[in-house]
Amino acid sequence: MKIGKTIKSIRTERGLKQKDLAAKLSMTAEFLSKIENNEKKPSWPTLSEIADALDVTVPFILLSSISADDIKAGEKQNFLKMKHGLEMLLNDIEATTRNTKQ
């Protein structure tokens, strides 16, 4: 599970520079870099703040961080199906949430 890699991926998809996200979170770019490079694990409150700043949910970050390589060989197919279904559900929830905020 590589939470930092997922955070970096979402940040770059959003077109945010590391220093801009760090400023938005009131942390140093160096600290955010350590999180993104999996040198530091974010606390739950920090992970929640990062998720809010990236306009995603903590479960979305956690689910996106799990790869098939993290799962036992015999369970990969079931895991991939479940992960796809959960990703679709989370995307629907986030889209609904965004629409109600507007």
Kindly report, residue by residue over 88-98, the tens digit of the pLDDT.
877 777 777 77
Confidence (pTM): 0.70
34: domain CATH number is 1.10.260.40
Q: Which amino acid is at 23?
A: A
Per-residue pLDDT at 81 exceeds 80:
no
Q: How far apart are CA 1 and CA 71, in angstroms?
A: 10
Kindly state the tokens that stand for 66. 């799990």
Residue 99 has pLDDT above 80, yes or no: no
Q: Looking at per-residue confidence, does 90 or 41 come out higher?
A: 41
The tally of domains found in the chain comes to 1
3-class state of residue 51 by DSSP: helix
Its domain, for residue 41, covers 3-101
* Three-state DSSP state, 99: helix
- Looking up tokens 């970096």 gives 8
**Given pLDDT bands bounded at 50, 70 and 90, which one contains residue 68?**
low
Separation CA 66–CA 58 (nearest Å):
13
